[in-house]
């Protein structure tokens, strides 16, 4: 446990570095670029600086949510959990107890792989009973129920064990070292917004610095040098905008196809379905988007938790299911 806490504490170093990078970029922009914009047009200066400030605040808000919010864990106590999805919803389910070995004894290390966790050890009769109490449509490659031996709980659909956080995460996408946290059911929306807002912020800073410093360079006397801080900021903004638009585009694609990063590499094994490379969770772009961002559009732009459901049960595409069973 002490070793895990030390790793968790050291994991905040990338977080502090990211926050410092945000602070330095805005400071360099506000000190060197914003006055040049204001000299040429006060209205444009206020609008441009206000827009960049709004993007920065939204990016930082989204980032803080990704770092601080629990991405969601399987329940440890028996309770009734209701699902969502309208016509695609499943009945209420009963979630099993986690037994006396609570989360505090999660001391074993290992990867997230179901094969390494479950296939090498036979489940006890009590563990098998727990898997029967939580009705899932995904199973292991050998057709057996998915059960986490580290947390001693049955794995809901799309849940995986994170060896870094040492806990099972609902709808786990991946563990991000820059967040010191997992991207999962309760943080996916904030993570997508963080990527989008940060990519736009970096692009706007790059364009503003490039245009106005190019114009300013033409007016400088021959013996006067341009400050290096905005030049570095411009180069970093260009690099970050390219990377983040690519990475953010990939995660938007995953969201619109209702796939996680882990599922895009490993896929899912569905109960009684032999067809491979099948995603029964894909309901179409519109429904997939609303599963993460919710029904009310004013909340789409804020990193509040508006995702549908409980992270344990997910509606499936019955049309694809029926085709796969033919």
Q: Looking at residue 1, what is its pLDDT?
A: 65
Does residue 171 come out as left (phi exceeding 0), alpha (psi in the -120 to 50 range) or beta? left
> Cβ of 120: how many Cβ atoms within 10 Å?
8
Coil, strand, or helix at residue 202?
Answer: helix
What is the Cα 124 distance to its own chain's centre? Answer: 34
According to the model, what pLDDT value does residue 134 have?
Answer: 62
Per-residue model confidence (pLDDT) at position 198 = 97
Q: Is 162 a catalytic residue?
A: no
What tokens does 107 get?
């001391």
Place of tokens 């917004």: 193
Provide the pLDDT for residue 226: 64
Catalytic residue among 162, 168, 176, 243: 176
Dist. CA 44–CA 50, nearest whole Å:
10
Q: Structure tokens of 4? A: 């895990």
Per-residue pLDDT of the chain (326 residues; tens, 9 = 90+): 677 777 778 889 999 999 999 999 999 888 888 888 888 888 888 888 999 999 999 999 999 999 999 999 988 643 434 333 433 333 333 333 433 333 333 333 334 544 334 444 566 666 565 555 567 888 888 878 888 888 888 899 999 999 888 899 999 999 999 999 999 999 999 999 999 999 999 999 999 888 777 776 666 555 555 667 778 888 999 999 999 999 999 999 999 999 999 999 988 888 777 777 788 999 999 999 999 999 999 999 999 999 999 998 899 888 887 777 76
Residues 6+ apart with CB under 8 A from 36: 212, 213, 215, 216
What is the reported pLDDT for 209? 85
Q: Give the per-residue pLDDT at 222.
A: 53
pLDDT at res. 91: 35
* Residue 247: per-residue pLDDT: 96
- The reported pTM is 0.82
Q: Give residue 133's pLDDT.
A: 54
Q: What is the pLDDT of residue 18?
A: 95
């Amino acid at each position: 446990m002490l070793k895990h806490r030390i790793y968790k504490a050291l994991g905040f170093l990338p977080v502090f570095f990211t926050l410092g990078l945000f602070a330095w970029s805005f400071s360099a922009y506000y000190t060197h670029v914003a006055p040049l914009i204001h000299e040429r047009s006060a209205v444009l200066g206020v609008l441009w600086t206000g827009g960049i400030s709004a993007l920065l605040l939204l990016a930082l808000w989204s980032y803080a949510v990704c770092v601080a919010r629990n991405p969601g864990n399987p329940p440890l106590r028996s309770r009734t959990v209701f699902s969502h999805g309208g016509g695609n919803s499943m009945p209420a389910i009963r979630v099993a107890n986690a037994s006396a070995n609570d989360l505090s004894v999660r001391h074993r290390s290992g990867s997230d792989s179901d094969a390494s966790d479950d296939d090498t050890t036979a489940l006890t009769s009590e563990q098998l009973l727990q898997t029967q109490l939580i009705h899932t449509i995904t199973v292991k490659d050998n057709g057996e129920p998915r059960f986490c031996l580290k947390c001693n709980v049955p794995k809901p659909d799309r849940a995986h064990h994170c060896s870094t956080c040492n806990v099972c995460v609902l709808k786990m996408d991946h563990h991000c070292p820059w967040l010191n946290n997992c991207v999962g059911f309760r943080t996916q929306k904030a993570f997508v917004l963080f990527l989008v807002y940060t990519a736009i912020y970096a692009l706007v800073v790059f364009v503003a610095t490039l245009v106005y410093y190019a114009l300013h360079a033409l007016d400088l006397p021959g013996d006067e040098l341009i400050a290096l801080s905005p030049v570095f900021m411009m180069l970093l903004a260009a690099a970050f905008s390219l990377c983040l638009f690519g990475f953010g585009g990939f995660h938007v694609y995953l969201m619109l196809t209702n796939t996680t990063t882990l599922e895009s590499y490993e896929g899912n094994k569905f109960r009684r379905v032999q067809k491979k490379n099948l995603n029964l969770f894909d309901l179409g772009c519109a429904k997939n988007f609303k599963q993460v961002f919710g029904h009310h559009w004013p909340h789409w732009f804020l990193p509040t938790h508006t995702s549908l459901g409980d992270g344990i049960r997910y509606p499936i595409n019955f049309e694809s299911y029926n085709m796969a069973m033919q």
